[in-house]
């Protein structure tokens, strides 16, 4: 199927081909993301109003929407400018007034002629104790009564658009909805009691009561599932396509790994052992590995990564580990070198700082296969960097590297296996949306000997006490981070605040004792400041959030976060994770400026209650929504029109397993159900998936 199937053409025509859509509406609708009839099918009513016919307004409690049959009485045009036009009407028991501002008398005499019967529906209000209905929503002849649904759905609108033309346009689009072959697994459809697609589309636009507007109503759940299914099918196709890209079988004998384990002062956790086994099994398989290693702060991801890199070396190849910054590259190098040494493997680094002869020597050693493991920043992307036999790429902290960079790296080796590590525990629903094309290993336990971090909330008014606490800790040989708030939108404003705090602490604690790191520092100065802190020359490091990810200083046991209420939950959790890495009892002081808003208080209390990153990320998601948790700019999170990945995680999960199963049974989507699924991909504008099919 090379292009969009003909059966869908009417849904992808111009908006002006729909009843009720004139040039004005066709200009306004795109403001709410509606560009074709298809978009109207998935623009669902968000609420509704009862239009059930009643005999009289007596007993109704204004303000209330009523629908009632009346006999039209006298017209009272306005006596002065700016006054309303009034029409007396009488139902079975009561008399009241219809009120019109900026009225056209000819029009009103035509639609509401005195002495005739009409059905009117609108909001009944009391004005000076007199019942009146300003601008009724509907005025119908008795024979048109059936045109008014007992329950009228109300749609989201945009400027210049009212309910009536919107409803006409939607119904016109619904009339075009074709009968489509079923793409949902028959057993699943039966178990969930879901209607056919066409029936579901008609049902969601003709609700009988407010109950039908619930996301849990069967027709709505079915349509939400279709959205998830199309999305997961595209991800599954991408995954299958990635796997068809022949990988290299890297079989390890575990000899090198055993040497490292012997050199460790502790035993790996069960979660680490499980993750290493999953990764090594993937690497030994002929298909290319594409795996996400998710672990909370301090769960020991680096050791798992090293074991994977050793498996690549042992199979005769090379591995590369990418870090987002030079500081982290240096840290990985220092942490891993002794372990790689114990295994007898040469480990080196490559960053933008390597120049001249030194760089040339490294590049030669890499091309000759002498360097087994390379640690580096994205300098390893550069054109002149060649590997003898690159088997595995480990990417640290996923968010800095998008799918595009994963692909570029792939071009470096034949088809290296890819392992992505993230220290941001991502709730399951988001992991499925965002990394659905990857297999996931989770490290859900902490290595032994980790002392929990004591977390306290301190009001900003107690600054002097905090500084005194710090002075005593430094005298006792301990180190501390002091994180400055995100004051303004610009780094410059944040920087001023950080520099001010830096001066204040130096005056209080001594000039040599306090260092400063921020985003505006040249990389060389930033590294020097970090190196001085790591070596223990400075005891307190004042920082903007530059230290958020991955920095490891076991002697640092105090974390002060100023204006903690300005940070997100996940960010606070990451920052707190910088301490508690040694044997020393650690503390995190979250300073806040009262009064705290309800949400800010809730955020800080969650952190005080738990150190479980997964629980924290679930709460964060509930409080902030998906885009913020991953950082929308990088996330490329799909926008669903009907489905809600946060509240319908169960459906997303179902869609993932169903999509993977369908592709396992029918890789090219050629069976009846496969062909129906292709139509769904076109309908949901997931043409990416279709393209992958044609490439494959």
Per-residue pLDDT for 143 more than 70? yes
**Residue 413 pLDDT class (50, 70, 90 cuts):** low
Per-residue pLDDT for 631 more than 60? no
pLDDT at 343: 92
- When pLDDT is averaged across residues 556-575 and rounded to a whole number, the result is 85
**Residue 133 pLDDT class (50, 70, 90 cuts):** very high
Per-residue pLDDT for 414 more than 70? no
Per-residue pLDDT for 147 more than 50? yes
Q: Which of 200-204, 400-404, 509-513 has the highest mean pLDDT?
A: 200-204
- When pLDDT is averaged across residues 353-380 and rounded to a whole number, the result is 90
Q: What is the pLDDT of residues 655-695, one digit of tens each?
A: 988 998 998 899 888 899 999 999 999 999 887 667 766 65
Identify which of 410, 411, 389 has the alpha carbon closest to the alpha carbon of residue 314: 389
pLDDT at 406: 54
449 Cβ contact partners less than 8 Å away, ≥ 6 residues apart: 266, 583
580 against 192, higher pLDDT: 192
Per-residue pLDDT for 368 more than 80? yes
Residues of the chain with pLDDT > 90, as a percent, come to: 35
- When pLDDT is averaged across residues 549-565 and rounded to a whole number, the result is 81
pLDDT at 493: 59
Q: What is the pLDDT of residues 587-612, one digit of tens each?
A: 999 999 888 888 888 888 888 888 77
Distance CA 462, CA 473 (A): 17
- When pLDDT is averaged across residues 168-190 and rounded to a whole number, the result is 93
pLDDT at 1: 45
Per-residue pLDDT for 371 more than 90? yes
pLDDT at 679: 92
CA distances from 534 to 331, 375, 542, 589, 649 (A): 10, 19, 13, 21, 42
407 against 109, higher pLDDT: 109
pLDDT at 201: 95
What are the helix and strand counts (H, E) for the chain?
Answer: 25, 22
pLDDT at 325: 76
- When pLDDT is averaged across residues 475-481 and rounded to a whole number, the result is 91
Per-residue pLDDT for 196 more than 80? yes
In order, the DSSP letters of 146-184 are GGS-SEEEE----TT--HHHHHHHHHHHHHTPPP----S
pLDDT at 429: 56
- When pLDDT is averaged across residues 629-640 and rounded to a whole number, the result is 45
198 is written with which tokens? 């066409």
pLDDT at 629: 38
Per-residue pLDDT for 410 more than 70? no
Domains and CATH numbers, the chain: 6-47+169-214 (1.10.150), 52-148 (2.40.50.140), 255-443 (3.40.50.300), 453-610 (3.40.50.300)
Q: How many Cβ atoms are within 10 Å of 214's Cβ, its own excluded?
A: 10
- When pLDDT is averaged across residues 339-363 and rounded to a whole number, the result is 90
Q: How many Cβ atoms are within 10 Å of 258's Cβ, its own excluded?
A: 12
What is the b/e burial string over 87-126, where b = at least 16 CB atoms within 10 angstroms of the residue's CB?
Answer: bbbebeeeebbbbbeebeeeebeeebeeeeebbbbbbbee
404 against 634, higher pLDDT: 404
Q: What is the pLDDT of residues 425-448, one digit of tens each?
A: 666 556 665 665 677 888 877 777
For residue 283, how far is the Cα from the chain centroid? 29
Identify which of 490, 434, 359, 400 has the alpha carbon closest to the alpha carbon of residue 627: 434
pLDDT at 4: 86
pTM of the model: 0.60
438 against 222, higher pLDDT: 222
pLDDT at 306: 94
């Amino acid at each position: 199927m090379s292009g969009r199937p003909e059966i869908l053409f009417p849904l992808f025509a111009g908006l002006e081909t729909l009843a009720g859509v004139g040039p004005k509406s066709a200009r306004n609708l795109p403001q709410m993301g509606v560009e074709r009839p298809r978009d109207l099918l998935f623009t669902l009513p968000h609420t509704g109003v009862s239009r059930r016919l009643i005999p009289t307004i007596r007993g109704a409690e204004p303000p209330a929407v009523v629908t009632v049959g009346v006999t039209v009485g006298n017209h009272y045009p306005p006596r002065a400018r700016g006054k309303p036009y009034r029409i007396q009407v009488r139902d079975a028991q009561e008399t009241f007034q219809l009120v019109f501002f900026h009225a056209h008398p000819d029009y009103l005499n035509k639609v509401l002629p005195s002495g005739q019967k009409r059905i009117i529906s609108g909001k009944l209000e009391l004005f000076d104790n007199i019942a009146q209905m300003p601008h009724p929503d509907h005025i119908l002849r008795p024979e048109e009564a059936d045109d008014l649904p007992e329950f009228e759905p109300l749609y989201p609108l945009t400027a210049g658009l009212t309910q009536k033309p919107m409803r006409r346009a939607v119904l016109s689009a619904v009339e075009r909805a074709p009968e489509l072959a079923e793409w949902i697994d028959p057993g699943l459809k039966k178990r969930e009691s879901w209607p056919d697609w066409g029936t579901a589309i008609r049902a969601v636009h003709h609700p009988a009561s407010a109950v039908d507007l619930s996301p849990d109503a069967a027709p709505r759940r079915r349509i939400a599932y279709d959205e998830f299914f199309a999305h997961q099918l595209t991800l599954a196709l991408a995954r299958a396509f990635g796997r068809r890209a022949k990988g290299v079988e890297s079989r390890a004998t575990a000899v090198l790994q055993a040497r490292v384990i012997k050199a460790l002062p502790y035993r790996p956790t069960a979660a680490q052992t499980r993750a290493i086994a999953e990764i090594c099994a993937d690497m030994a398989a002929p298909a290319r590995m594409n795996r996400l290693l998710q672990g909370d702060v301090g769960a020991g991801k680096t050791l798992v990564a090293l074991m994977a890199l050793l498996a690549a070396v042992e199979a005769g190849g090379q591995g590369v580990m990418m870090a987002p910054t030079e500081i982290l590259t240096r840290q990985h190098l220092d942490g891993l070198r002794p372990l790689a040494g114990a295994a007898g493997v040469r480990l080196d680094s490559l960053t933008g700082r390597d120049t001249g002869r030194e760089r040339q020597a490294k590049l030669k050693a890499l091309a000759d296969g002498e360097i087994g493991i390379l640690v580096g920043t994205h300098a390893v992307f550069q054109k002149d960097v060649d590997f003898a036999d690159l088997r595995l790429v480990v990417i640290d902290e996923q968010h800095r590297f998008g799918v595009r960079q994963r692909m570029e790296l792939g071009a470096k080796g034949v088809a290296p296996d890819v392992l992505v590590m993230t220290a941001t525990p991502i709730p399951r629903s988001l992991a499925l949306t965002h990394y659905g094309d990857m297999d996931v290993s989770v490290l859900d336990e902490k290595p032994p000997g980790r002392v929990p971090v004591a977390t306290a909330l301190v009001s900003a008014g107690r600054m002097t006490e905090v500084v005194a606490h710090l002075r005593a800790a430094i005298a006792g040989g301990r180190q501390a981070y002091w994180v400055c708030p995100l004051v303004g939108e610009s780094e410059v404003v944040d920087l001023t605040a950080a520099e001010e705090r830096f001066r204040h602490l130096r005056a209080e604690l001594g000039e040599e004792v306090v260092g400063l790191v921020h985003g505006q520092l040249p990389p060389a100065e930033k590294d020097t400041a970090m190196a001085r802190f790591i070596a223990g020359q400075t005891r307190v490091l004042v920082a903007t959030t530059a230290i958020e990810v991955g920095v490891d200083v076991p002697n640092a046991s105090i974390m002060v976060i100023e204006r903690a209420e300005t940070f997100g939950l996940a960010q606070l959790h990451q920052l707190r994770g910088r301490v508690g890495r040694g044997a020393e009892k650690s503390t995190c002081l979250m300073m806040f400026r009262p009064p705290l808003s309800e949400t800010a208080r809730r955020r800080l209390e969650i952190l005080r209650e738990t150190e479980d990153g997964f629980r924290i990320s679930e709460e964060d998601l509930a409080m902030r929504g998906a885009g913020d948790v991953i950082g929308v700019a990088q996330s490329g999170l799909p926008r669903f029109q009907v489905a809600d990945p946060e509240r319908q995680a169960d459906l997303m999960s179902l869609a993932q397993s169903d999509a993977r199963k369908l592709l396992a049974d029918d890789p090219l989507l050629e069976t009846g159900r496969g062909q129906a699924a292709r139509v769904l991909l076109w309908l949901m504008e997931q043409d990416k998936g279709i393209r992958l099919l044609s490439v494959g």
